[in-house]
């Protein structure tokens, strides 16, 4: 055999071996939820080493930004970097296979969870700020004393009580003292004040109850600058996390708390979810660090018999308990009738730490797993039919030479898939479409070459010379046209996102693969063919 | 050996005025559609919410429509998605509402789900795709898409200027710009949704059409060297005719795969396949009828050093047939299958 052909065959053999090796199913470690214990564990599974995009295997894609609606954040790049670390810790514990957490541009965080079946839960775990703090309630009733000023401020601003003023029947629910207090504050200003008519004294100092349907109104009132100005120094308002029912009606608790927390979640080292055996409530017991425990016990010692609100992301969790004595490293958050899963999600975010700033979702894309499976099936069908049509056209028109091109086409498919696997690129649905399309385009190089060979033959050249010249003369056109396509694809990759980038990558790898298969492989096959039949006078082309 | 159009010698360039009229007419129709109906941007670009779901049993679309209206989603569109049990609901962000973007798209998802629970029945449907895009992201994407197309023009112009000559580059870019405009007109007439995938398809059309133009220009470059005596008009016609078999074959295989995508690859890919199918036609057309005549025109306007184009246009074109092979031609090359020159 000709030495030139042997070297070519060796090269092709190495390429094929490399491609097959990169496509052999291999063991990958995957984190999955253990069905029996509910914990995360590592397992190894065997699968094809081609990454499927979210649109093919289902999952959730989120783009998050630092929420600036409640005031600008000066350095969003720094905030997003810190948020990235926290989100990554949370996601790792949350347990999805191969999560993607990356910063895009300066201030945007991309999170992709493939195969996630419960997007709502994943979203809440990612988005939750999880800022935990403990604050003493307004023990001296400073807020209540300031209520008349707030009412006066509202009256000056011309805010009228909407809806009927507090019905006495409801007020009686809370005992005579509350009604009297409400009436007293009302009497101060002759007419019932807007704010004080909506608030009812709760069971402990600093607790007020608002009818559930009124709480958005009250919230908007206390957010007004003129009302805030009348707020006593060192006191802030926080809403309860859940509505609670007293009698037939639902109420929302409003707490006046000290603005300085006695301790925050930064000092927390351990949190788990559990069901309280006595009350059957979901609880999250936690443990503080040494430093935190010392601080906590000092503070609680100073506040014995005071009430302590446990505030998570600005909402008071459960009713503030009274501090009976010094508390050390351990405490717990009561979640009422929430499910154990919610409790374990809370424990997870508390362990992972708080986000430096709230994140808002600017883009969300969820694809169900069955839709992805259908897409793969349809894409493969279209691909197979497309390939068959191309084979019919090529073999029908170019006969044996066409068959050589088809043989090269199978290598083209192999090389492209191997390229995707070897470089760890992700195959997306548009990428699949690009792949199918590229099969049609991939034969272009062969068409150009074959047409050239035909022309050379018509010009009366010998077979061998016609083949050589055909390849040689077609090169210019092939290179120029493919480079321009690669340039367009590169732009698409640079500018596009997710699925479109997948498309561009598939196109680029496809062009590279088609260069190898259509030019190098087909040339080798031609050389072998001519070598075997030196007496051949007409080429089957 | 089957040879399609093997010895073709059609006078393609002669029909350029007809071709211009035809493409002008298409553009006009497209412009009318664009002006009256505009482009149907996907929520990726406008911001908003999309939900695709598959009902487990047949549900009249009017029921879902009513439920959506009752949920206060008056602006929401509902369409079938491939089959009559699969639907897609789109609620675009109103341009005026710019305040708390996220709460609104989140709230819309909940509202759609409630409307579906009501009309289709809770648990009676499977949600396939949910997308919620804030207006900021949408605006960014619009800018990026335009950037991508413009950038691809600039890069092409530079590449062709280096590999060929700026005249060729300009003609190729004009032809490609024609394809973009024609494709956008097609998208508007077909009322296809302009999503990122469709923008990707438009860019692929750009690449494909460019590819085709370059194949012909490569032949023109070669023939200009080979046949020193012929004018550009003849060389263009000759080159188009010589590359005709290749064009038929390559477009044939590409159309075959595109049709397979269009018919079989499912609903998500269909807009992409439509745009590609049209793009193959317009790309082929523009390589022959836009790129070549524009190159001729550019040569006439700004003749190069080897300005053979200037002699070609108009009634004063040489009446002698170009069959006689010039002496500079290498002996192995037979006389070119030159077309009849212009009247």
Is the model more confident about A181 or about B230? Answer: B230
Q: Decide the pairing of beta strands B40-41 and B193-194.
A: parallel
Q: What is the pLDDT of residue A33?
A: 59
Q: Are residues A375 and A347 in the same domain?
A: no
A199 lies in some domain: yes
Cβ partners under 8 Å of residue A407, min gap 6: A521, A525
Distance (Å, rounded) from C-alpha B319 to C-alpha B234?
12
A66 lies in some domain: no
The residue of chain A with its CA nearest to that of B336 is A459
Q: Are residues A376 and A525 in the same domain?
A: yes
Residue A386, min C-alpha distance to chain B (Å): 4
A218 lies in some domain: yes
User: Where are the strands (E) in A84-156, listed by range?
Assistant: 100-104, 108-114, 132-136
Residue B331, pLDDT > 50, answer no
Q: What is the pLDDT of residue A449?
A: 92
SS3 category, B162? helix
Distance (Å, rounded) from C-alpha A359 to C-alpha B335?
73
Residue B332, pLDDT > 50, answer no
A237 lies in some domain: yes
Q: Are residues A327 and A387 in the same domain?
A: no
Find the range with the poorest average confidence among A19-28, B67-76, B154-163, B250-259. B67-76
Is the model more confident about A105 or about B176? Answer: B176
- CATH for A486: 1.20.1640.10
What does the mean pLDDT of chain A come to? 82
Q: Are residues A204 and A323 in the same domain?
A: yes
CATH fold of the domain at B13-38+139-310: Multidrug efflux transporter AcrB transmembrane fold (1.20.1640)
Task: Output the CA torsion A536→A540→B4→B5 (10° steps).
Answer: -30
Distance (Å, rounded) from C-alpha B196 to C-alpha B201?
9
Q: What is the pLDDT of residue B317?
A: 41
- CATH for A143: 3.30.1360.200
Contacts of A394 in chain B (CB under 8 A): 253
A79 lies in some domain: no
Q: CA nearest A39: which of A348, A303, A458, A309?
A: A348
Q: Decide the pairing of beta strands A282-288 and A268-271.
A: antiparallel
The domain of A232 spans 134-354
Cβ-defined contact of B133 to A364 (cutoff 8 Å): yes
Q: How confident is the model at residue A183 (pLDDT cuts 50, 70, 90)?
A: very low
Distance (Å, rounded) from C-alpha A433 to C-alpha B198?
12
Tokens of A361: 């979702």
Q: What is the pLDDT of residue B283?
A: 92
Of B208, B257, B333, the CB nearest to A390: B257
DSSP state of B13: G
Please provide the DSSP assignment of A58-80 as one string: -EEEEEEEE--TTS--S-HHHHH
Contacts of A481 in chain B (CB under 8 A): 210-212, 214-215, 218
Q: How many domains is chain A partitioned into structurally?
A: 2
Q: What is the pLDDT of residue A249?
A: 81
Q: What is the pLDDT of residue A389?
A: 93
Find the range with the poorest average confidence among A398-407, A466-475, B34-43, B100-109. B100-109
Task: Output the CA torsion A321→A327→A330→A336 (10° steps).
Answer: 0
Contacts of A482 in chain B (CB under 8 A): 211
Tokens of B158: 């530079």
Tell whether B254 lies on the interface with A, counting CB pairs under 8 A: yes
Q: Are residues A274 and A402 in the same domain?
A: no
| B:256-295 residues touching chain A, CB 8 A cutoff | 256-261, 263-266, 268-269, 272-273, 276
Residue A163, pLDDT > 70, answer no
First to last CA, chain A: 24
Residue B327, pLDDT > 50, answer no
Contacts of A382 in chain B (CB under 8 A): 260-261, 263-265, 269
Please provide the DSSP assignment of A247-307 as one string: TTEEEEEEEEEESS-SEEGGGEEEE--EE-TTT--EEEEEEE-HHHHHHHHHHHHHTTT-B
Select B48-133's CATH number: 3.40.190.10, 3.30.70.20, 3.30.70.3400, 3.30.470.10: 3.30.70.3400
Q: Which CB contacts under 8 angstroms, 24+ apart, belong to B93-97?
A: B93/B43, B93/B46, B93/B47, B93/B48, B93/B135, B93/B138
ipTM of the complex: 0.79
pLDDT tens for each residue of A294-331: 888 888 888 888 898 988 888 888 788 888 777 778 87
Residue A409, pLDDT > 70, answer yes
Distance (Å, rounded) from C-alpha B33 to C-alpha A530?
58
Tokens of B108: 């819309």
Cβ-defined contact of A499 to B196 (cutoff 8 Å): yes
- Which of the listed residues A320, A354, A388 is the one where a domain comes to its end? A354
Greatest alpha-carbon span in chain B? 85
Q: How confident is the model at residue B251 (pLDDT cuts 50, 70, 90)?
A: very high
Cβ-defined contact of B133 to A487 (cutoff 8 Å): no
Q: How confident is the model at residue B258 (pLDDT cuts 50, 70, 90)?
A: very high
What are φ and ψ of residue A457, in 5° steps? -65, -40
Q: Where are the domains of chain B?
A: 13-38+139-310, 48-133
Find the range with the poorest average confidence among A38-42, A57-61, A78-82, A326-330. A38-42
| B:81-110 residues touching chain A, CB 8 A cutoff | 100-102, 105-106
Record the pTM.
0.75
Q: Are residues A487 and A343 in the same domain?
A: no
Selected residue of A409, A438, A480 to mutate for chain B interface (largest B Cβ count, 10 A): A480
Please provide the DSSP assignment of A196-208 as one string: TTT-EE-SSTTEE
Q: Are residues A512 and A482 in the same domain?
A: yes
Cβ-defined contact of B254 to A447 (cutoff 8 Å): no
Q: Are residues A166 and A307 in the same domain?
A: yes
Please provide the DSSP assignment of A467-517 as one string: HHHHHHHHHHHHHHHHHHHHHHHHHHHHH--HHHHHHHHHHHHHHHHHHII
Q: What is the pLDDT of residue A30?
A: 64
Residue B95, pLDDT > 70, answer no
Q: How confident is the model at residue B340 (pLDDT cuts 50, 70, 90)?
A: very low
The arithmetic mean of pLDDT across residues B46-71, rounded, is 86
Residue A39, pLDDT > 60, answer no
Q: Are residues A482 and A348 in the same domain?
A: no
Q: What is the pLDDT of residue A92?
A: 78
Cβ-defined contact of A500 to B197 (cutoff 8 Å): yes
Q: Are residues A338 and A406 in the same domain?
A: no
Q: CA nearest A167: which of A201, A209, A198?
A: A198
What are φ and ψ of residue B194, in 5° steps? -85, 95
Find the range with the poorest average confidence among A317-331, B200-214, B245-259. A317-331
Q: What is the pLDDT of residue B328?
A: 43
A151 lies in some domain: yes
Bridge partners of B100? none
pLDDT tens for each residue of B296-325: 999 888 877 665 544 444 333 444 444 444
The arithmetic mean of pLDDT across residues A357-386, rounded, is 86
Is the model more confident about A113 or about A2? Answer: A113
Cβ partners under 8 Å of residue A453, min gap 6: A401, A466, A467, A469, A470, A471, A539, A541
Residue A36, pLDDT > 80, answer no
Q: What is the pLDDT of residue B292?
A: 92
The fraction of chain A above a pLDDT of 90, given in percent, is 14
Q: How many CB atoms lie within 10 A of CB A137?
A: 25
Tell whether B222 lies on the interface with A, counting CB pairs under 8 A: yes
Q: Decide the pairing of beta strands A330-334 and B40-41.
A: unpaired
Q: Are residues A335 and A455 in the same domain?
A: no
Q: Are residues A247 and A145 in the same domain?
A: yes
Bridge partners of A316? A240, A311
pLDDT tens for each residue of B264-293: 988 888 999 999 999 999 999 999 999 999
Rg (CA), chain A: 35
Q: How confident is the model at residue B129 (pLDDT cuts 50, 70, 90)?
A: confident
Q: What is the pLDDT of residue A197?
A: 81
């Amino acid at each position: 055999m000709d030495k030139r052909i042997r070297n070519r065959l060796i090269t092709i053999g190495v390429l094929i071996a490399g491609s097959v090796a990169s496509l052999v199913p291999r063991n990958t470690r995957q984190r999955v939820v253990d069905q029996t214990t509910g914990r995360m564990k590592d397992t190894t599974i065997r699968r094809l080493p081609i990454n499927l995009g979210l649109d093919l295997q289902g999952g959730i894609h989120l783009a998050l930004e630092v929420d600036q609606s409640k005031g600008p954040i000066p350095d969003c790049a720094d905030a997003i970097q810190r948020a990235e670390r926290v989100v990554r810790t949370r996601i790792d514990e949350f347990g999805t296979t191969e999560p993607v957490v990356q910063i895009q541009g300066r201030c945007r965080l991309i999170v992709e969870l493939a195969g996630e079946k419960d997007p709502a839960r994943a979203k809440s775990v990612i988005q939750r700020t999880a800022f935990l703090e403990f604050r003493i309630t307004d023990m001296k009733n400073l807020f209540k004393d300031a209520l008349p000023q707030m009412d006066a401020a509202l009256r000056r601003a011309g805010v009228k009580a909407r809806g009927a003023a507090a019905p006495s029947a409801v007020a009686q629910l809370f005992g005579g003292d509350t009604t009297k207090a409400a009436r007293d504050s009302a009497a101060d200003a002759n007419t019932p004040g807007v704010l004080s008519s909506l608030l009812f004294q709760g069971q402990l100092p600093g607790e007020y109850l608002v009818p559930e349907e009124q709480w958005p109104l009250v919230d908007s009132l206390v957010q007004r600058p003129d009302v805030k100005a009348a707020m006593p120094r060192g006191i802030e308002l926080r809403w309860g996390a859940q509505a609670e029912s007293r009698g037939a009606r639902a109420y929302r608790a409003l707490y006046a708390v000290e603005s300085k927390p006695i301790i925050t979640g930064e000092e927390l080292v351990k949190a788990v979810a559990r069901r309280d055996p006595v009350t059957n409530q979901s609880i999250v017991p936690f443990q503080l660090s040494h430093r935190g425990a010392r601080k906590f016990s000092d503070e609680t010692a100073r506040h014995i018999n005071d009430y302590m609100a446990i505030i998570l992301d600005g909402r008071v969790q459960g009713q503030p308990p009274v501090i009976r004595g010094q508390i050390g490293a351990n405490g717990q958050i009561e979640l009422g009738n929430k499910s154990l899963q919610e409790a374990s999600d809370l424990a997870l975010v508390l362990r992972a730490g708080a986000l430096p700033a709230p994140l808002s979702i600017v883009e969300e894309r969820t694809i169900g797993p069955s839709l992805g499976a259908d897409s793969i099936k349809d894409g493969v069908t279209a691909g197979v039919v497309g390939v068959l049509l191309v084979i019919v056209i090529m073999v029908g028109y170019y006969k044996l030479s066409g068959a050589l091109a088809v043989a090269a086409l199978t290598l083209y498919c192999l090389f492209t898939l191997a390229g995707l696997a070897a470089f760890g690129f992700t195959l997306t649905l548009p990428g699949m479409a690009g792949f199918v399309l590229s099969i049609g385009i991939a034969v272009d190089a062969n068409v150009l070459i074959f047409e050239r060979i035909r022309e050379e033959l018509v010009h009366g050249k010998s077979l061998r010379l016609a083949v050589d010249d055909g390849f040689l003369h077609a090169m210019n056109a092939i290179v120029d046209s493919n480079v321009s396509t690669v340039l367009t694809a590169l732009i698409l990759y640079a500018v596009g996102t997710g699925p479109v980038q997948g498309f561009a990558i598939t196109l680029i790898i496809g062009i590279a693969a088609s260069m190898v298969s259509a030019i190098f492989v087909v040339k080798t096959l031609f050389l072998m063919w001519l070598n075997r039949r030196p007496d051949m006078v007409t080429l089957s082309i | 050996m089957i040879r399609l159009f093997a010895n073709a010698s059609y006078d393609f360039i002669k029909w350029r005025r007809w071709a211009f009229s035809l493409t002008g007419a298409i553009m006009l129709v497209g412009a009318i559609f664009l002006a009256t109906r505009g482009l149907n941007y996907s929520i990726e670009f406008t911001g908003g919410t999309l939900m695709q779901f598959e009902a487990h049993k047949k549900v009249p679309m009017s029921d879902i429509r009513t439920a959506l209206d009752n949920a206060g989603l008056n602006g929401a569109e509902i369409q079938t998605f491939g089959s009559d049990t699969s639907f897609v609901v789109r609620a675009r962000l109103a341009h005026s509402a710019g305040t708390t973007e996220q709460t609104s798209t989140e709230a819309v998802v909940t509202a759609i789900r409630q409307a579906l629970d009501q009309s289709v029945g809770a648990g009676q449907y499977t949600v396939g795709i949910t997308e919620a895009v804030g207006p900021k992201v949408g605006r960014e994407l619009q800018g990026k898409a335009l950037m991508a197309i413009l950038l691809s023009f600039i890069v092409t112009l530079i590449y062709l200027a280096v590999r060929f000559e700026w005249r060729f580059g300009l003609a190729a870019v004009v032809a490609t710009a024609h394809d973009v405009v024609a494709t956008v007109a097609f998208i508007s007439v077909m009322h296809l949704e302009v999503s990122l995938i469709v923008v990707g398809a438009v860019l692929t059309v750009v690449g494909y059409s460019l590819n085709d133009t370059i194949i012909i220009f490569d032949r023109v470059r070669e023939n200009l060297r080979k046949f020193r005596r012929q004018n550009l008009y003849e060389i263009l016609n000759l080159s188009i005719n010589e590359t005709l078999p290749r064009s038929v074959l390559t477009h044939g295989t590409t159309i075959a795969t595109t049709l397979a995508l269009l018919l079989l690859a499912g609903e998500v890919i269909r807009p992409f396949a439509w745009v590609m199918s049209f793009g193959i036609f317009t790309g082929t057309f523009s390589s022959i009828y836009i790129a070549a005549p524009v190159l001729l025109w550019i040569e006439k306007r700004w003749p190069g050093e080897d300005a053979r184009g200037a002699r070609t246009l108009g009634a004063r074109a040489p009446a002698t047939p170009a069959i006689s092979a010039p002496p500079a031609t290498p002996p192995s090359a037979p006389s070119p299958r030159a077309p009849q020159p212009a009247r």
